[in-house]
Amino acid sequence: MIAEVPTMAIDMVLFNENTSVLADEFFAHRLGLVPLVSTSVDQFKYSRDCTCGEYCKECSVEFTLHVKCTEPGTRVVHSSELISSNKDVVPVVDDNGRGVILLKLSKGQEINVHCVAKKGVAKEHAKWSPCAAVGFEYDPHNNLKHLDYWFEKGIKEEWPLSKNAEEETENDPSAPFDYNAEPTTFYFNVETIGSLDPQAVVIKATRVLQEKLGALQMALEEDQHPDTNANMDEADPWV
């Protein structure tokens, strides 16, 4: 969920004009971190897989931002002012519809940039991560005895059960301990940055996991039947 669920994020910024106080790479970094609605991320290719030279509609979305402050005082530029070339990929906005503050301009300052958002995963850069925090728990009753609670007076008072405990039943303490039991239910508490719904993140994450497991399984099967893959270099010890 943290590392491998793909989202869209601004990856390239072309500066036409920047007379603000922020340096180019400083502002580009800020733009990169702006969350973009990525529900349609599956429509896009990774740009490394795309046939185009630099970027194209298949693998990217273009944004423009052109603000000039002409009045005295401070002009606050929000992420909602980024104009997208694709109505499905727009900056995430909060309740007041403005989004993140990108920078502030004073009179006479101007910012004019052209940005390209690409698909990516957070393994490469954290800006592609859809999650802010992922809580994780299994076995809330500690039936499996994976945990050895530290307490001063009593476990029950000092370690209140989490909400997830309602989903499971506590083992009878008098029953014999089943040392073969494995955890089967996992509880995730997902907080996203707005680019994807928490549900979507979990589903996509499981799909990524399935794909990985599938790939592993296929590789193992190939390994067991080397004949099926005749042209594989047998001298390669790393496979």
Partner 1 sequence: MKAEEQNGVEHLQHERLGNGGRRSAEELLGASIGMDVDAKRLTDPIPTIEDKWQLLPAFLRVKGLVKQHIDSFNYFIEVDMKKIVKANELVTSDIDPRFYLKYTGIRVGRPERTDADAADRTITPHECRLRDLTYAAPVMVDIEYTRGRSRVIRKGVVIGRMPIMLRSSHCVLAGASDDEMALMQECPLDPGGYFIVRGTEKVILVQEQMSKNRIIVNTDNKGFMSASVTSSTHERKSNTYVCMKKGRLYLKHNMISEDIPLVVAMRAMGMTSDKEVAQLIAGVDPFYLDLLSPTLEEGAASKLFTQRAALDFIGPKAKSMGRRPGVARRPAHEDALDVLANVVVAHVPVNGSDFRAKCVYVAMMARRVLQSVSDGNKTDDLDYLGNKRLELAGQLIALLFEDLFKRFNSDLKINVDKVLKKPNLAREFDVFSQLMCHGDLITQGLVRAISTGNWSLKRFKMDRAGVTHILSRLSYISALGMMTRISSQFEKTRKVSGPRALQPSQWGMLCPADTPEGELCGLVKNLALMTHITTDDEEEPIRRVAFALGVEDVALITGAELHAADAHIVFLNGLILGITRAAQRFVRQFRVLRRSGRLPAFVSIYIDDHRKIVHMSADSGRICRPAIIVDGGVSRVTSEHVRQLLAGELQFDDFLRLGLVEYLDVNEENDCVIAIYEGEIKPYTTHLEIEPFTLLGAVAGLIPYPHHNQSPRNTYQSAMGKQAIGAIAYNQLNRIDTLLYLMVYPQQPMVKTKTIELINYDKLPAGQNGSVFVMSYSGYDIEDALVLNKASLDRGFGRCQVMRKFTAMVRKYPNNTFDRLTGPPTFQDGKVPERFQFVDDDGMAPPGTRLENGQVYLHKQTPVGDDDGSGAAGGSALTAPSFRSVPMSFKYPDPGYVDKVMITTSESDQTLIKFLLRQTRRPELGDKFSSRHGQKGVCGIIVQQEDMPFTDRGIYPDIVMNPHGFPSRMTVGKLMEFVASKAGAIKGELQYGTCFGGSKMEDMCRILVENGFSYTGKDYVTSGITGEPVGAYIFNGATYYQRLKHMVADKMHARARGPRAVLTRQPTEGRSRDGGLRLGEMEKDCLIGYGASMLLLERLMFSSDAFEVHVCGDCGYIGYKGWCQMCRSSKSMVPIKIPYACKLLFQELQSMNIMPRLVMEDI
Site residues (CB under 8 A) for partner 1, limited to 150-169? 150, 160, 162
CA distance 37 to 3: 18
Work out whether 109 is an interface residue with partner 1 (CB under 8 A): no
- Closest to 182 in 3D by CA, of 222, 239, 143, 227: 143
The partner residues of 147 in beta bridges, in order of sequence, read none
Candidates 6, 11, 13, 18: give the one binding partner 1 (CB under 8 A).
18
Nearer to partner 1, 20 or 50 (CB): 20
Tell me the site size for partner 1, rule CB under 8 A: 30
Is residue 135 close enough to count as binding partner 1 by CB under 8 A?
yes
Which listed range, 44-52, 61-69, 124-132, 209-217, lies at the site for partner 1 (CB under 8 A)? 124-132
Among 40, 42, 49, 136, interactor with partner 1 by CB under 8 A: 136
Could you say whether residue 3 binds partner 1 (CB under 8 A)?
A: yes
Of 152 and 236, the one with the shorter C-beta distance to partner 1 is 152
Determine if 200 is a binding residue for partner 1 (CB under 8 A): no
**Torsion region of 233: left, alpha or beta (phi above 0 gives left; psi -120 to 50 gives alpha):** beta
Question: Using CB under 8 A, which of the segments 38-46, 66-74, 131-139, 221-229 binds partner 1?
Answer: 131-139
> Considering only residues 23, 155, 181, 213, which one is a binding residue for partner 1 as defined by CB under 8 A?
23
Place of tokens 């403005």: 98
x-or-dash pattern for partner 1, window 27-46, by CB under 8 A? --x---x-------------
Beta carbon of residue 104, minimum distance to partner 1 (angstroms, whole number): 14
Residue 177 is a binding residue for partner 1 (CB under 8 A): no
Binding residues (CB under 8 A) for partner 1: these are: 2-3, 15, 18, 21, 23-26, 29, 33, 122-123, 125-127, 129, 132-137, 146-147, 150, 160, 162, 189, 191
